[in-house]
Structures are given as C-alpha cells and as structure tokens.
Amino acid sequence: MHQGIGFIQDLAVVMAIAGIVTVLFHRLKQPVVLGYIAAGVIIGPYTPPFQLIHDEQTIQTMGELGVVFLMFSLGLEFSLRKLFQVGATAIVAALSEIVLMLWLGYEIGQAFGWAAMDSLFLGAILAISSTTIIVKALADLGVKREPFAQLVFGILIVEDILGIAMLVLLGGIAQTGELSPAIAFVTLGKLLLFMVVSLVVGILVVPRVLAYVARSGSDEMLLVSVLGFCFGFCLLVVKLDYSIALGAFLIGAIMAESRHLHRIEHLVAPLRDAFSAIFFVTIGLMLNPLVLVDYAWPIAVISVAVVLGKLVSCGLGTFLAGRDGRTAMRVGMTVSQIGEFSFIIASLGLTLKVTSGFLYPIAVTVSAITTLTTPYLIRIADPLSQRLARAMPPSVANVFGMYSQWLRALMPRSDGGPTLFSLTKRIVVQIAVNLALVSAIFIGVSYGARYAAPFIAQWVADERIQRVVLWSAALVLAMPFLVAVWRKTQSLALLLAEVSVQPEKAGRFTRATRRAIAELVPVISMIGVFVLVAALSGTILPPTGFLIGVLVCAALLTMLLWRWCVKIHASMQIALRETFDERPDA
C-alpha cells in the first residue's frame, strides 16, 4: 500500500492547493483556470517555499490525461449538425481570424528577432481562442443564449477543426523544417480523409454499441465503455502519427451523435474537471516568474496584439460575412483571448524540441492577461460600437451600409423548395464521402499488406498472385461504395446535362448533347476513380495483365451483386442518417 506514496503526496499537494486557490479566485470573481495556473506557480520549483512535487513525470502524465478529457469534452460539444447550421459566417470569421493572427504572430516574433520556428509557433499560439474561457465568460454575463453567442460558438467549432489541422501541419513542419505546398496539401488531404472516414465509420458503430451498453442501466459499464472507445481510438490515432488531442476530439465528436450524449457528458465531467485541473496546474509548474520579467516587453506587445488583432480580424470577418456592426464588435471582443489550445500548441513545440524555452511562459502569461480582460471587453462591446457609430464620418458609414445592402441582395433566398445549388451540393457531398471510404479501404489494405503478406505467402508463393488477392479483396470491400459513387455520378450527370444544355442555344442537338453528357460524365469519372485508387494502392497493384483480369471479374461480379450492393449501401446510409437525426435524450 505504500508504493505510490510519493505520487499520492504530489496529488494531495496539487489538489489541496488548487482547491484553496480556486476558491480564493472565485471569491475575487476571477476565472478558476487562472487559479489553477497560480496554484501551479506556487507549487512549482521557481517560487518559494520550495519544490513541492516529487514525481513530476507522473503529474505530467496526469496532466496529459487532462488534455485528453478536455479535447474529448470539446468534441462532445462539437456537433456536425451545429456546424452545418452556423455555416458561412462562422467559417469566414474563423478563417480571417486564424490567417491574420498567424501572420501577426509570425511578424511579431520576427520583429523581436526570434527564430523562424519560434515565430511560426507564436503565430499558431495566437490563432485559436479559448472555448473554456468564452463559455465561462458568456455564462457569467448571462448572454449565452443571445444570437451573437451562437455565432461565437460556431466560430469556435470551426477554429477547433482548423486548430487540429494546424497541429498536424506544425508537427510536419517541425520535423522537416519547412512546408512545401505539396506536402501541406497531401498532409491536409490525408487528415481530411482520416477525419471523414473516422466520423462515418465511428458514427455507424460507436453510438450503436453505446446504446447497447446503456440499456444495461449501469453507469459504471457505460463509463468504462466510453473510456475504452476514447483511449482505444486515441491509441489508433497516435499509431498513425497524429496527436492524441486530435483523437480525443474526434471520438468526442463521434459520441456527440449518441442518443446518450447527456449521460456521457455527465459521467465524463468529473474526470475532465479533475484532470484538467491537474493539466492547468502543470502549466503553472512550468512557469518561471523570472522569465516573465525578462520578457515583459514582448508579453505586453503580444497581449495588445491578441486583443486588437482578434477584434479586428474576427470582427471584420463577421461583418464581411453579412452581420451588422454591433454583432461584429461583440463577436470580436468575445474571442479576444488565447487559452488551452495555445498551451497544447506551445507544449507541442517544447516536446518536439523546436521552440525556445521562453515561448511557453510567454504564451501562458498572455493567456492569463487576455483571460482577465475578456469579461470587461465583452461588457464594453455595446457602448463602444454605439460610440463608434456616432463618431464615424457619414461617408464611411455610407460605404458600410452599402456593403451590407449589396451582400443581402447577393444572398440566395432560403425560402421555397430545394434549389439547384442545394441539390448538387448534397450529391457532391455524398460522392465525396463514398470516395473517401473507397480511398480509405485501398490505403488500409495497402498498409495492412505487409502484415498479411506472410500469411498469404503460405498459400500463394507468387508475389504477383499475392497482389491480385489483396487488391481483389480491397475491391470487393469497396464495391458497395463504388456502386454508390457510380449511381450518384449518374444522377449528377443527368442534372448537369439538364441545366448546362439549354434548348435555346443547343437547338436540335439538345437531346443528343444531354445524353452524351449524362452517359460520358459517369464513365470518365469512374476512370478518374480508377486512377485515384491505383495511385493510392500502388504497392499492391497487380501487373497490367492480371489487373485487367481482376477488373473483368470485378465487373461481372458487380453485375451479379448489383442489387445486393445497392441494398447494403442504402441500409448504411439510412443507419447513418438515423443516428444523425436522433436527438440526445434529455
């Protein structure tokens, strides 16, 4: 019983001091998160009385569990449905914020003469706002249900996804030292493919299994299953060389589609609270107050840059996407801080040993400062926008007013039935998802080939025949999705033919042209799909002769199993839609 005493002592120190300091911070009406960080500084090695932690490694590991639970909870609050609803405005605002802040951070770093990698990480650290702080501040001010708050949540969701992409890209850049557009494209493509496939497969499987477990009525079993999925998926993600934060976020987003979302949130909340407290304390542990004195000047500049940069970029993005000036001002003021994502990015830099030691404490301090200012900024947003409106010269106000009018005229009217745009959009999305699944199957089989090869070798000696077996297996697995791609492409081609060929112009060729388009487009697309698949499965692609044979067999098989393929795919699609349409139980 006396093995883990050192660890228990550490945990006792962390929890006891965190408890006292947070109660104090709450009394002073300051965010609890700052209390945790302050507790970490007190406990840490840089401040008196002395180093209170014995086994820092284990506490760090606990803190990493905090990141897992934090990102998992963020995922649970993420929802594809909500993402579709907030739509364009959130994307425009988040994109303009991230791009401007990345650039601003990089330029500031360069101006202070820091290394390129430090400057790049500074940009990334400044790019993403803090969901935790914003949710807390909006709830405290009692404005969580107002329309601008909903828009902010949409922006935060988009930011989370872009932040994940940034984590992956930064990891790549840190390892290779540079970012060629081609590599960025491939990296992001792979990430997108991985996310789409995980979401589709995950949403098909996980909520069903959880519903089965939940039927037992045992919270304990549900929790253990949720944690099993969570850590299991994180492990898979880590094995694929992505960050554990991405894994936790994705599996959270998958479980967000479960009917038992609220029960899961309830069960995970104490784990998240306990371990994220430890995570924030470990952030404080690393904070050397002396560094802050040395870097007071950069800290001040960066803090101002965060507030002004986010206000301008996100506010302007919101305005350009068609919201009024007051909403834009409130949105800009709300997102004007950095938080947990910045810590994750900063610690990524430290772990990969590409950033200097001073970047982390700077990030933490800037986060603390901007967190403290956030509630005040949200509160002055309205008076400020009124005063600005009054102080604005009439000519400028006119330009703004005209822009709004022009944008409103441009927007598609959302009344009436499905438009051509919405119809094609839907088919395109369906084709893309099916293509993603096909790609994933071929990549997966190619990847698994090295493990399967020894087993197949026992039966078939010829290396070419081995390839035939593997490639055929992938083809059979992918068949339902290929059939779906073919059918959706046909519908799309018909639609395109109808719209693009106008009888007034094509005259008597109308019918023939339309028919040519409707029949040629699917065939050409399938050739494109074949080229894509062949490229993806290069390592297991059979030699040409064999390949033709396989394709002919596959064609025959497809004709035979056509109805079965359609049925399989339809039932999967229905299952997916059912899971989406189900609202979580209250």
Residues in the site for a second copy, rule: CB under 8 A?
1-5, 7-9, 11-13, 15-20, 22-23, 26, 32, 58, 60-61, 64-65, 67-68, 212-213, 216, 218-221, 223-225, 227-232, 234-235, 238, 243-245, 267-271, 273-274, 277, 344, 347-348, 351
The distance of closest approach from Cβ of residue 50 to a second copy in the complex, given in angstroms and rounded to an integer, is 16
Q: Which amino acid is at 380?
A: I
Distance CA 345, CA 325 (A): 32
Cis peptide bond prior to 298, omega within 30° of 0: no
Distance CA 544, CA 579 (A): 42
CB-wise, 348 or 550, nearer to a second copy? 348
CB-wise, 86 or 251, nearer to a second copy? 251
Distance CA 409, CA 420 (A): 19
Q: Beta-carbon neighbour count of residue 131 at 10 Å?
A: 22
The distance of closest approach from Cβ of residue 17 to a second copy in the complex, given in angstroms and rounded to an integer, is 8
The distance of closest approach from Cβ of residue 433 to a second copy in the complex, given in angstroms and rounded to an integer, is 27
Distance CA 460, CA 579 (A): 43
Q: Measuring CA to CA, how many Å separate 447 from each of 301, 434, 444, 540, 546?
A: 48, 20, 5, 9, 21
Distance CA 317, CA 205 (A): 38
CB-wise, 7 or 562, nearer to a second copy? 7
The distance of closest approach from Cβ of residue 350 to a second copy in the complex, given in angstroms and rounded to an integer, is 9
Tokens describing residue 335: 């997102």
Tokens describing residue 364: 């933490």
Distance CA 566, CA 557 (A): 13
What are phi and psi for residue 57, nearest 5 degrees? -60, -45
CB-wise, 55 or 146, nearer to a second copy? 55
The distance of closest approach from Cβ of residue 119 to a second copy in the complex, given in angstroms and rounded to an integer, is 21
The distance of closest approach from Cβ of residue 280 to a second copy in the complex, given in angstroms and rounded to an integer, is 11
**325-334 vs 147-176: helix crossing angle, rounded to 10:** 50
Which of these, 251, 312, 200, lies nearest to 74 by C-alpha position?
Answer: 251
Distance CA 513, CA 498 (A): 10
Which of these, 451, 461, 525, lies nearest to 488 by C-alpha position?
Answer: 525
CB-wise, 271 or 540, nearer to a second copy? 271
CB-wise, 14 or 550, nearer to a second copy? 14
DSSP labels, 550-571: HHHHHHHHHHHHHHHHHHHHHH
The distance of closest approach from Cβ of residue 139 to a second copy in the complex, given in angstroms and rounded to an integer, is 11
The distance of closest approach from Cβ of residue 585 to a second copy in the complex, given in angstroms and rounded to an integer, is 18
User: b vs e for 555-572, b when ≥16 Cβ sit within 10 Å of the residue's Cβ?
Assistant: eeebeebeeebeebbeeb
CB-wise, 214 or 541, nearer to a second copy? 214
CB-wise, 268 or 433, nearer to a second copy? 268
Distance CA 256, CA 455 (A): 39
The distance of closest approach from Cβ of residue 161 to a second copy in the complex, given in angstroms and rounded to an integer, is 18
Distance of alpha carbon 375 from its chain centroid, rounded?
26
CB-wise, 259 or 326, nearer to a second copy? 259
CB-wise, 205 or 568, nearer to a second copy? 205
Query: In a 3-state reduction of DSSP, which class is residue 46?
Result: coil
The distance of closest approach from Cβ of residue 38 to a second copy in the complex, given in angstroms and rounded to an integer, is 13
The distance of closest approach from Cβ of residue 29 to a second copy in the complex, given in angstroms and rounded to an integer, is 11
Positive or negative, the Cα torsion across 353, 359, 365, 368?
Answer: negative
CB-wise, 66 or 317, nearer to a second copy? 66
